[in-house]
Structure 1
């Protein structure tokens, strides 16, 4: 041990004790300070006058607040607090309940307890509670409600506890370090069942899993994945590749859907809960929940190229559990914000690599260049539906209506099913309208479409 180590450590401990003692004495209330001052004054008078009885009274007055300080100082470190959210993920505009619990783990009862939890202003006023004396080993539980019309992720805490002795001589405040996060996800609306062409349900590990006609030598193996049955190990391929390989098995393949959200700052005007961007976020959330409930493997894609959940071995992210994937996507939409990008090219690059299946897009304003990029996206998907927000209807000073109509016509000519979104539009009605448009275009082209579709 280096010279001076123990002395330095002892000095730190003494400094901590002195700081704790000063903090405890600073917690004396007006009553406590008055008792202490009266006791000291009585003791001085007793010394001058030689009155032993007055000295005893003075000592009693001075010692009582000091005893309260010591007891309360020791007690505050033996009171445990916890918080529980129900639920921890709540749609915008809905309420969540926060449960607080205090446990007295000492052998002495506590005095008056005052609780205060720190919450962001957007969730409501700061909750405060007053708890009566808690018996040794006892507990107290209280709860309050929070609500936000704005999506986001909000911290709750830390919890502050103010302790007071039964005589009101001293008050001490303790702050717990733990805090929780409340996730406010976008509002979702139930969508009606409609039918659109999508990716046909098939079998196999993927498009590359077509097996050869016969023979053990013709088996096309793949790399071992966690959870694969060891009886499927293909030893000859394992020896050839130098890593564990397994035989592919024919398995049902779920239809895939990509929900594309345009977050470009230049594509939207206005802000707030009723803005066009918030409508697009809520629409994307409703679409992905609808498709997950109908058995699709869904991923969320933004104009930045970010994909949630991340692509798996086949590029679809199908390795994620449906409930887990939906939770990840909703958490992402809870905090998604405008991007500084000016184009959709990065999203197109992602679709070009893994663009099979159904594509549901929520676009803001599209200029000529971005309309061309969106038109090329249609070539990489089985079917594509675009909800295009008309900025001229959402805010004043929007773009020219003829120009907007031209962009919509270009998307329809490239194969998109296009629905124009005006201010205050109902997504379920637009969803039904998209189904009718697709049915009409299918009949006009003589195509039968995919019988699985949206249902």
Structure 2
């Protein structure tokens, strides 16, 4: 949202002279032609001694100058606002921009033209012609923007162009505020597959710990007004001599880490239909799906960066699921190729992550990087890899034998590894991976979603 007021004409002193020079610079082709014709007629009248021609020349020269003076002294005061709905959209989805202009001066305006600056990726630059706006009146116009590419795109500043009735002069006044449209990757709804041992999205590691712990392992706290008396821990009450209650159990959420390979050397091609964009979209779809399933999630890239990066080992907190989802989508909106050659930083970031589901979206892997990725499986409860052969995506051919060899290496290490052919849809691969997981006994959860 933006709100601003245009300059209101003369300020006096140097500002006045500077504004007059700006107004003279706003002469249109018509205005310059009239001025040049008037000067030429005046010179010819002086040389030929023709008084009538001199009067015509002065009239031609005076008209554009008079328009400049009137437009320069115009004291229009307008306020504008911009409303962007929504501010975060998926790629290839439209957003609506509503512009509102209000004449806050006591004089009606003449012909006005509104122009908003938008990047060429979002479409043509919108222009609107507004007829006379009465004092205190307002006008509303709107336009739509759409981008097939991810990113953050500035909207604005808004420009207001003033013109005189004769078309001799035009002045442009700019507003300073702007808005930002965030275009996030496209996501696809994924089929829900129940996790064996899952209870409302909470991990069973904490449940096993509670089952093995006895009543003596409970750490009580002092009674507070409003506590349920059924939670009174009588043994601790007798020991400490004051009323003690059991602490509320805080079950640990099941965890999911999404690893996104962004190495520039791992992908070929560019554009909305490239292998890299499929990997980014797949990571986004997985993150959204796992958040909806009640998981605590995090996004790790080959550079070692971790998003959200707060909370326990970088996982999103339970109470901040919506905020974390927005942060993850904003991060994926601007993620780009990295200059790294390997996945060692990602491996370091995953070290010590403990139990949890690992989903990896990988580009081209050489033998060394495939072996390093295979070792990452030992630090997680379950691991699924989607391996893209960017060369086949570029040519539209079949998956090469080198990719099949990398898949075999990952599967021997306990990964559920799938090749991603050109144009594949993630929901179908998701079901295929779920079937492969169901057939495997070396799985912490016994299934995945």
TM-score bracket for the superposition, by shorter chain length? 0.7 to 0.9
1:14 to partner: Cα distance: 3.0
In the TM superposition, what are the counterparts of 1:74-89 in structure 2 within 5 Å?
74-75=73-74, 78-89=77-88
Cα–Cα, structure 1 residues 189 and 410, in superposed 2: closer, same or farther, change >3 Å? same
Q: Which runs of 4+ in 1 moved over 4 A?
A: 31-41, 57-71, 74-77, 166-169, 196-200, 202-205, 210-216, 218-221, 396-400
**Corresponding residue for residue 297 of structure 2:** 298
SS in 1 for 2:372: helix
* Aligned 1:47-58 pairs, distance under 5 A: none
Map 1:86-235 onto structure 2 (within 5 A): 86-166=85-165, 168=167, 170-196=169-195, 201=203, 214=216
TM-aligned CA distance change 1:82 to 1:448, over 3 Å: closer
Separation in 2, partners of 1:380, 1:148: 39
* Cα deviation, residue 270, structure 1: 1.4
2: CA distance, partners of 1:123 / 1:380: 43
> Which residue pairs with 2:258 in the alignment?
259
Structure 2 residue aligned with 1:239? none
Specify whether residues 123 and 213 from structure 1 end up closer, same or farther in structure 2 by C-alpha distance, changes over 3 A only. same
Moved more, 72-81 or 196-205: 196-205
Q: Distance in 1 between matches of 2:418 and 2:411?
A: 10
Equivalent position of 2:6 in the other structure? none
- Structure 1 residue 256 displacement after superposition: 1.5
Q: Is the 8 A contact 1:256 1:298 kept in 2?
A: yes
Structure 2 partner of 1:433: 432
**How far does residue 215 in structure 1 lie from its aligned partner after superposition?**
9.5
1:79-133 CA distance string (max 9 Å, x none): 1222111111111111111111111110000000011111111111111111111
Looking at structure 2, the residues matched to 358 and 415 of structure 1 have their Cα atoms a distance apart, in angstroms, of 13
339-348 vs 67-76, which deviates more?
A: 67-76
Preserved contact between residue 101 and residue 139 of structure 2 (Cα < 8 Å): yes
For 1:197-221, what per-residue CA distance to the aligned partner results, in whole angstroms no more than 9, with x for missing partners?
698625979x99x9996599x6699
**Alignment match, 1:322:** 321
| TM-score (ref. length: structure 2) | 0.78
Quick check: 1:196–1:435 contact (8 Å CA) kept in 2? no
How many angstroms does 1:26 deviate by? 3.4
What is the match of residue 226 of structure 1?
none
Please give the secondary structure, in 1, of the residue aligned with 2:440: helix
The answer for the alignment partner of 1:364 in structure 2 is 363
Cα distance change of structure 1 residues 432 and 171 upon mapping to structure 2, 3 Å threshold: same
Q: Relative to structure 1, is the Cα distance of residues 265 and 248 closer, same or farther in structure 2, using a 3 angstrom cutoff?
A: farther
Per the alignment, do residues 81 and 355 of structure 1 end up closer, same or farther by CA in structure 2, a change over 3 Å counting? farther
User: Does structure 2 conserve the Cα–Cα contact (< 8 Å) formed by 1:101 and 1:139?
Assistant: yes
- Cα offset for 1:385? 0.9
Check 1:450–1:396 CA distance in 2 against 1; reply closer, same or farther (3 A cut): closer
CA shift at 1:249, angstroms? 4.4
The Cα offsets for residues 27-48 of structure 1, whole Å up to 9 and x where unpaired, read as 355469859997997xx99xx9
Matched-pair contact (CA < 8 Å) for 1:302–1:347: yes
Residue 445 of structure 2 is matched in structure 1 by 449
Partner of 1:284: 283
Shift of 1:348: 1.4
Count matched residues.
406
Higher mean displacement: 343-352 or 393-402: 393-402
**1:11-90, aligned counterparts within 5 Å?**
14-29=13-28, 30=30, 34=34, 69=68, 72-75=71-74, 78-90=77-89
Q: Distance in 2 between matches of 1:441 and 1:133?
A: 74
1:402 aligned onto 2:398? no
SS at the partner of 1:338? Answer: coil
- Closer, same or farther: CA 198–89 of 1 in aligned 2, 3 Å: farther
Instruction: Report matched runs for 1:406-425 at 5 Å.
Output: 406-425=405-424
Q: How far 1:317 moved relative to its partner?
A: 3.0
How far is 1:285 from its partner? 0.8
Asked if the contact 1:37/1:62 (under 8 Å) is kept, the reply is yes
Q: TM-score, normalised by structure 1?
A: 0.77
Deviations 1:182-232 (A, max 9, x none): 111111111111245698625979x99x9996599x6699xxxxxxx9xxx
Task: For residue 419 of structure 1, give the secondary structure of its aligned residue in structure 2.
Answer: strand
1:212 and 1:219 in contact (8 A); partners too? no
Q: 1:188 to 1:59 in 2, by over 3 A?
A: same
In the alignment, the residues of structure 1 paired with residue 351 and residue 160 of structure 2 have an alpha-carbon distance, to the nearest angstrom, of 56
Q: CA deviation at 1:294?
A: 1.5
Q: Contact 1:259 / 1:284 at 8 angstroms: preserved in 2? A: yes
Verify the 8 A CA contact 1:262 1:364 in the aligned structure 2. yes
8 Å contact from structure 1 (residues 262, 302) kept in 2:
yes
